[in-house]
Chains A and B, each alone.
Chain A
Amino acid sequence: NAGVTQTPKFQVLKTGQSMTLQCAQDMNHEYMSWYRQDPGMGLRLIHYSVGAGITDQGEVPNGYNVSRSTTEDFPLRLLSAAPSQTSVYFCASSYRRESPLHFGNGTRLTVT
């Protein structure tokens, strides 16, 4: 089992560019989520999904879009990158919403 796979590991964008962070899990987990981690602030929930075709906003959804067309994949899209989106992004999945999260290795994004 690969667990939760995130790509890319590092990315540098210019303001206004768009990109998609990929996330895939092979554990047949229904629940998937995206977090951003900023220094001194812990993790903040961006978007989450409780199953294929269902997504919802978390604490900091502005500037990000998600979709969940399959159980395995949960991509995060930045439509027009801003310097405030410079952060480390983690994708996570779990069997149920209240179950412990399995995290990907993270994507370090820098927007200049």
Chain B
Amino acid sequence: AQKVTQAQTEISVVEKEDVTLDCVYETRDTTYYLFWYKQPPSGELVFLIRRNSFDEQNEISGRYSWNFQKSTSSFNFTITASQVVDSAVYFCALSNSNYQLIWGAGTKLIIKP
């Protein structure tokens, strides 16, 4: 069975702190994609990153970075020097062999000023 687990239901940090959102997945497919999406309080869903199973390079985009480790089936997301605007619900998702997305339950991130 395929599954995505985001064990952290809610995280609260003070602005400028670094924060890591965990994502652990289960799949028997050898080829798959992993995604992160952001849902700010306004409710829209915004794509952040896609990673395929053959590319384990870490990715950095500004204050955002992603650590993909197949050995531990994890695809963690780190925000450096967090800002209030980073407050949102963040979803990790796995694309199965039929390219259907399996979503985690989301982590609500609260950045306090």
A residues near B, CB below 8 A?
40-45, 48, 58-59, 88, 90, 92, 97-103, 105-106
Contact = CB atoms under 8 A, between A and B. Distances in A.
Interface in B56-107: 91, 93, 95, 99-101, 103-106
Grouping DSSP codes into helix (H, G, I), strand (E, B) and loop, the B interface class, with mixed when no group exceeds half, is strand
12 contacts: A40-B9, A42-B103, A43-B91, A43-B93, A45-B101, A90-B45, A92-B45, A98-B33, A100-B47, A100-B50, A101-B47, A106-B44
Contacts of B106: 42
Interface residues of B, number: 21
Contacts of A102: 47
Max chain B C-beta neighbours (<10 A), residue from A42, A44, A58: A42
Contacts of A40: 9, 105
Given A98-B33, A98-B99, A42 B47 contact: no
Contact of B100 (A59, A90, A99): A59
Looking at chain A's contact residues, the main secondary structure is loop
Contacts of B4: 42
Residue from B91, B104, B105 with most neighbouring chain A CB atoms (10 Å): B105
B45 A103 contact: yes
Contact of A42 (B43, B50, B105): B105
B50 to A, nearest CB: 5
A91 B100 CA distance: 14
Interface in B32-53: 33, 35, 37, 43-47, 50
Nearest to B6: A42
A102 B106 CA distance: 18
A100 B100 contact: no
